[in-house]
Structure 1
Amino acid sequence: MKALWRILCLLCVVMLTQAVAAPLAPLEHRRGLEQTWLSVPEWYRVHSPTEFAAYLSHDGKPSDFPWLGHVGQLWGSYAAATRAQLRDARSAPNAGYHLTNLATAGGTSVEYSLRAGYELTAGRLAELTRGVAPTAEETLAARVAQDYADFIRTRPWYEFDFFAQLAAVWRDTGAWGPDLLRKWERKYALTTEYLAKGLCAQLVRLVAPASASSDKPTTAIVVDRWLDRIDGAWPEMQRLRSYQTGGQLLLVPRHAAFSIISTAIARSGANFVEIAGNGPEAPILLSVLAGQDWKPRKGAVLLRQPVLTQPRVTQVVFSVPISALAESLRDLDTQGLRLEHLHDY
């Protein structure tokens, strides 16, 4: 009888421990912590177009852009993220995310290799005939590159309207003008690019899994106090529950907006307790643009890669536990460093 009583007491202790440790986020807002690792190569597909757009905005030559260097960095980030995920015993395999990353990385590698081959041959020859000022097509290409970089921070790439940009190439740039050879070579290059991407985007929209389109645009977080000094207006932020300890369960936007609102939360003095069902000891990744020798004061560095078009700038990706996230964000503020992305789950 005593043995049975001990077993029952042990079961009660186990159940109570599990109840205490259970995530506070609603079930539909919980996501595995492996997603913070695997989003690193996914977001390189945002950082690379962003770098290209900044490069074109300063009249950079497409033939000098490090296309193949970016392919190497993309696969390097995927390898580093996968190794970290495999070392983390709490990470689920998530084969679907891996397949998405492999398909995206493979497609990007093909695209960048083809662009490198073209820009280093026909593109470079046509560049030699150009005067000082960019052609209308080059100006349009720089604008579209920036629009695309801004778009994919919050929306899937295949929702971008490439066909509208293709129409603009022929509607807005005219048939005649200075540097005629370069002008028509750029027309051909942009027409080919936007047409191919538009067709690929249509195909992806047809075959994209339903889960991608139904993915929730919000993240459930728990902070240790009410955010009475948070900067900015966030109509998307909802308070779901308050706790006697002063903690709050909130819904906040995901992706690029999550980086901005998390920084605002940290500046308000609040600290993170849970994100997407992952508790205070779970790792979360930050990407920072800093000097070549910069190291985070807390956390473990996952990846260091130079920004290839800005030799003095380095992208540093490092992990901290959720309990230290707000402190790390405040520390970046103190150092005057730019948070490139916070890798939500």
Structure 2
Amino acid sequence: MQIDKEIQPHSVKEIIQAIQSTTGPISIGGGRYSMGGQIGYENSLHIDMRQFNKVLNIDLQKKQVTVQPGIVWRDLQKKIDPYNLSIKIMQTYANFTVGGSISVNCHGRYIGHGPIISSVIQLKIITASGKIITANRKANTDVFNAVIGGYGGIGVIVEATLQLEDNVKVERQTKLVKVENYNDFFDKNIRNNKNVVFQNGDLYPPNYDVINNVSWVKTNKELTDTTRVTPENQNYWLEPKLIQIISWGNFGKWMRRKIVDPIIYSKEKVVWRNKEASYDVFELEPASREEQTYVLQEYFIPVKNIQSFIPKMKTIFNKYNVNIINVSLRHAYPDKESYLSWAKEEVFAFVIYYKQGTDASSKNIVKKWTIEMTNAILSENGSWYLPYQPHASIKQFNQGFPNSNKYFEIKNKLDSLNRFNNKLLDKYNPDNQKTIEKERENIKGYFRDEEQTVLTVPEWYLVFNPKEYADYLEKGNNPSDFPFYASIDEYWKLYDRSIKLVSDAYPENKEYTTMLKVIGISVTMEYTAKILYENTIGRIFSWFANDTISDDEKTIIAAQRAYSDFIYNTAWYEFKFLPWIKKVWNTSDTTKSSFLRKTERKLFFTFEFAFKAGYAQLIEWAAKNSYETPVTNIYLLADTKEKIQPTADIKILKEQKNKKLLSIPRWGSFTTNLLKLCHKDIEILEIGGNDEIVVSILSNESQNNNFENTKLLYKSNVVTNRKIKRLVYLVPVKQLLTFLKQAKSRKTEVEHIFDY
């Protein structure tokens, strides 16, 4: 996902200015620990709130604190700890921002409480119009209930007032409880015990029959650890190792239950409440997430239904062989305020920590069992937590969050243009189901990875270079003089520049970069062979040419032209090489050309095209067995009042007011058709879901090559004409047609638009 622009505001004024000076979507981010696109949206203005992080006021009498939302819990704990105050409700880990926690309506291990909404006194938000609204339980209550747990869809939180508690010493107490006895144990020992501050129960996989209840109870005992707040940047080497051991299948889980946990919990532990509430997520961080990673899900099950839910959960985990590390049970009272409440009644939260592969197949399996698990949750009148991967269907979401219609009513009232958006809200907003933007998701291959527009530059050079070769031969030049070495050098320069550009701005694309290396090595070997041949045998036989080109050689040149034209719109390995060999040998020569020269040319051409024919068969077979059928169209979302006349190439898939969803063939045809559209009054909003695209032009140094709102990425050599340069620009999609129009007016050749 690529945003359009990012800001890190330090003041309310900066946020208002950013909102009012733009018209597109806005996304908001804090600690960035959500994992399903909850803080991002394509081509959005992204407001990174982490520098908006001041403590504005501490009211010691009321035990309340007012903060800017970008502050992380640990920093707030450091500010209030000297006053012996503590956060009332927050997550176990202290790396999250206050604003992010409010936006997901977080909860923790706190007994006697529900979600964080019950500890929020008042909020100030900035709406899509730039207006500041104060919301609490007496004023703008509907906004208050929509913002908390609203995932940034209502506006930007700029101020939050929270209720605090006293910081006290707490002692750890543990007890193993059978699942069937857990409700009774909890009711008798935990639920109404005002001395219990934190509590959770670890449900041991893979049997899910025993819960290790861990309570932290107020005490006057001596501290076993005098740390007030967990410091940052500690070296967590043991915790990740233990998690790795537990992930060793059932044996690792047996070790945890029988050996690791008994050792850990055998020691007496008395700490400050703030210490126990300030864990660091880095203790969970694996050495690498390249092939496998650890992920969270969370289910909220009514307390009376956990006995019937656990067997259903176990069945699904076993069916898909899910590598569950831990299931933590945490209690929460109902939340009757937040419109996206996950606690419609008193619940136990099942916090699922599991290990999965990062490849596409593993992700697909997770999606399958998550959808099944969601049905199991709904069968128990439960719900699930939304900061994680949004696999649930729209129907499941509406059933799990029945008040979501109230949330979207408030959103549409304050943000009628749906500017505050992210991947989560985009999926479940009912109004989005009717929009032309939503239609994109139904089109296979609509969304393209933006880095591809840069990475395709070296690949397309292997289209431009054969064209140069055909042009060179048609001008009557000696093929032995073609700059093959310069062509090799130019490819690898383009490769290096492109890889550097994408590595600075995008995730690694191993599959495509490997392909570029393979084709680069292939063309290097081919051209090296030609260099050796043309500068020895080829050059010797050229001495016999007598400046005459035979009809056979003209057919060879026609074959090179046919090949260079073909690969502008079709994969090279689909070219029919063998018929051209036959055509060359069947050509009747009417010229007085050298027999030796034309025979040498025919033999060399025969070897070249025969080899390519065989190699093409291998590549075609590999491509068809390794990759899906390629998408042959590229899709555009455009805004225009003009009527666009559909053609054989340009198709209108959907229209909504001035917006049009267009389909145009990819490769060379894409450039040709956009050049036809550039004189119309059209604004392209996105191409393939992206807001930037790479374009190359051919120009001499005397021409005006300065284009507004573009970035010149690099210059490239046209190896057969050093006076001409290939200029490669990164162009905002909205400015693309203006760029093309300007280039044409300056008599500059637009070589190619690199369509991802």
Please state which structure has a larger fraction of its residues in helix: 1
1:226 CA displacement: 4.9
Q: Distance in 2 between matches of 1:50 and 1:255?
A: 15
User: Is residue 429 of structure 2 the alignment partner of residue 17 of structure 1?
Assistant: no
1:153-197, Cα deviation, whole Å (9 max, x unpaired): 011111111111111222225699631111111121111111111
Answer whether contact 2:544 2:597 (CA < 8 A) is retained: yes
**Normalised by the size of structure 1, how large is the TM-score?**
0.90
Tell me the amino acid that sits aligned with residue 144 of structure 1: A
User: Is residue 754 of structure 2 the alignment partner of residue 343 of structure 1?
Assistant: yes
1:44-78, Cα deviation, whole Å (9 max, x unpaired): 01000000000011111111000010000001111
Per mean C-alpha deviation after superposition, the further-off stretch among 128-137 and 2-11 is 2-11
Q: Distance in 2 between matches of 1:133 and 1:213?
A: 48
User: Is residue 712 of structure 2 the alignment partner of residue 301 of structure 1?
Assistant: yes
Q: Distance in 1 between matches of 2:489 and 2:512?
A: 20
Answer whether contact 1:227 1:265 (CA < 8 A) is retained: no
Matched residues, percent identical?
25
Q: Distance in 2 between matches of 1:260 and 1:341?
A: 9
Distance 1:208 1:235, change over 3 A: same
Aligned match of 1:241 = 654
Q: Distance in 2 between matches of 1:285 and 1:11?
A: 32
Aligned match of 2:310 = none
Per mean C-alpha deviation after superposition, the further-off stretch among 166-175 and 41-50 is 166-175
> For residues 25-40 of structure 1, what are the structure 2 equivalents within 5 Å?
25-26=440-441, 27-28=443-444, 29-40=446-457
1:292 CA displacement: 2.7
Q: Distance in 1 between matches of 2:720 and 2:472?
A: 7
Unaligned runs of 5+ in 2: 1-117, 121-143, 156-407, 409-419, 428-436
Tell me the amino acid that sits aligned with residue 78 of structure 1: Y
Give the CA RMSD over aligned residues. 2.4
Answer whether contact 1:226 1:248 (CA < 8 A) is retained: no
Aligned match of 1:43 = 460
Q: Distance in 2 between matches of 1:212 and 1:44?
A: 23
Aligned match of 1:71 = 488
Q: Distance in 2 between matches of 1:265 and 1:304?
A: 26
Q: Distance in 1 between matches of 2:426 and 2:642?
A: 24
Aligned match of 1:330 = 741
Answer whether contact 2:636 2:662 (CA < 8 A) is retained: yes
Aligned match of 2:729 = 318
Tell me the amino acid that sits aligned with residue 18 of structure 1: N
> For residues 1-345 of structure 1, what are the structure 2 equivalents within 5 Å?
1=118, 3=120, 5=145, 6-13=147-154, 16-18=420-422, 25-26=440-441, 27-28=443-444, 29-88=446-505, 91-173=506-588, 178-210=593-625, 212=627, 214-228=629-643, 234-244=647-657, 246-278=658-690, 282-292=691-701, 294=703, 295-298=705-708, 299-345=710-756
1:2-61, Cα deviation, whole Å (9 max, x unpaired): 639452244543895116878653352111101101110110010000000000111111
Please state which structure has a larger fraction of its residues in strand: 2
Answer whether contact 2:453 2:754 (CA < 8 A) is retained: yes
1:105-156, Cα deviation, whole Å (9 max, x unpaired): 1100100110011001100010011112202232111101110010000111
Residue correspondences, number: 337
Answer whether contact 2:548 2:592 (CA < 8 A) is retained: no
Distance 1:123 1:227, change over 3 A: farther
SS of match in other structure, 2:722? strand
Per mean C-alpha deviation after superposition, the further-off stretch among 187-196 and 13-22 is 13-22
SS of match in other structure, 1:154? coil
Higher relative contact order (CA 8 A, sep 6+): 1
1:303 CA displacement: 2.1
Aligned match of 2:296 = none
Per mean C-alpha deviation after superposition, the further-off stretch among 57-66 and 24-33 is 24-33
Runs of 4+ in structure 1 deviating by more than 4 angstroms, as ranges, are: 19-24, 173-177, 209-213
Answer whether contact 1:32 1:92 (CA < 8 A) is retained: no
Per mean C-alpha deviation after superposition, the further-off stretch among 34-43 and 180-189 is 180-189
